[in-house]
Amino acid sequence: MINKLVIVLLATLVATQPELVSQSDVALISKRANEIQEKVVEWRRHFHEFPELSNREFKTAEKIARDLKTMGLAVDTGIAHTGVVAVLDSGRPGPTIALRADIDGLPVTERTPVPFASKVKTTYLEEEVGVMHACGHDTHIAMLLGAAEILTHMKDQLRGKVIFVFQPAEEGAPIGEEGGAALMVKEGIIDKYGIDVFFGQHISSNQPIGTITYKLGGIMAASDQFIIKVKGTQTHGSRPWDGVDPITVSAQIIQGLNNIVSRQTDLTKEAAVISVGKIKGGYRSNIIPEEVEMIGTIRTLDTDMQQIIHKKIKKTATAIAESAGARAEVDILVGYPVTFNNLDLTRQMLPSLEKAAGANNVVVIPAVTGAEDFSFFAKEVPSLYFFTGGMNPTGSIPAYPHHTPDFYIDEKGMVTGVKALCLLTLDYMNSGDQF
């Protein structure tokens, strides 16, 4: 009698549980992703050819908003300066899922041998620079637009809402400005749209197309910026002993900063990186200048190590400068926190990623020292962030690193990203285990 009762209860429970995306729907999403691939490529190439820097993505935002409205979606603009948010409301009760793409380019002059290469020039930090989508944000926009088009046509199969978030300034707002995901959160995007979970992805130039990589917990590092001003005493280049040379002192400080990670940090615990990205001082070959300024980045995956490294940077720079009779002023600007994948959500949605790429093509990776301001969304609601492959192992163009003039993405990899966003959405909506 008890066994029969248990069987009846289990049968009732199964019957009342929403079904996840069926194999026929998986096939349908795959079919539609392939059908609109040409359109996704067109989107990508347009945004690639006409990139804009952080907080200046005016034309980018206009086109995104225009194309979303063409799909029949409700669209809000001007969020965090140039952000665009579109809402797909199924009209049925269910969770509210946010899908995010970043939209800004970088101050990099492009060298890739493609006909749609960027020729855009602008001024950045008082210097003329080229502008390039050297981190793949153009593909992120295109993949999210592709997902929006597919999901809009599947509205009758949705439960709840999908919020398409096109976020500006992921690479960092200009000095003195707010921007990016942090500003979106500050402006109340989570509460305004009632977001329950966030999903995001990043294309990878050194990961094979058709693959997805992920990690439980912290997947990307915290990112902070430092500014060090070394103040010496200006003098003639032929008589350095009459002054204090801030260029030489800066060189010693850079060496000292490198030693913090290599000799003073327990790298068996977590990875850490300190890199100087720019150093500027002087105007003539025969004048030792009065001041040198250097800026750089700090990457950490552990909050305790983060605080220790901050202290060591200040101590190292000031002590080296003092030893030479100079003075160092150190400012550390706290940036992005660790990008953290919610453990339960990541485990729950793993089958969705496997449907998108195939189980053998979904791989766990160690944390990376790159950083993402998606981390601000992940601090507010359960989130999942993953990498989609953009490298063709048999292609004619090598896989150059992100943030370089030769950065290149094979567009065939975008199909996987479009499918992943759609399947994550439908599976989560149909799951009985929601956050």
Residues identified as active-site: 336, 411
| Closest to 405 measured CA to CA, from 137, 112, 119 | 112
The backbone region for 172, taken as left when phi is positive above 0, alpha when psi lies in -120 to 50, beta otherwise, is: left
Do residues 34 and 415 make contact, with C-beta atoms less than 8 angstroms apart?
yes
Dig out the tokens for 113 from the structure: 């041998």
* Residue 58 backbone dihedrals phi, psi, to 5 degrees: -70, -50
Tokens 């390039």 locate to 132
Q: CA 118 from chain center: how many Å?
A: 21
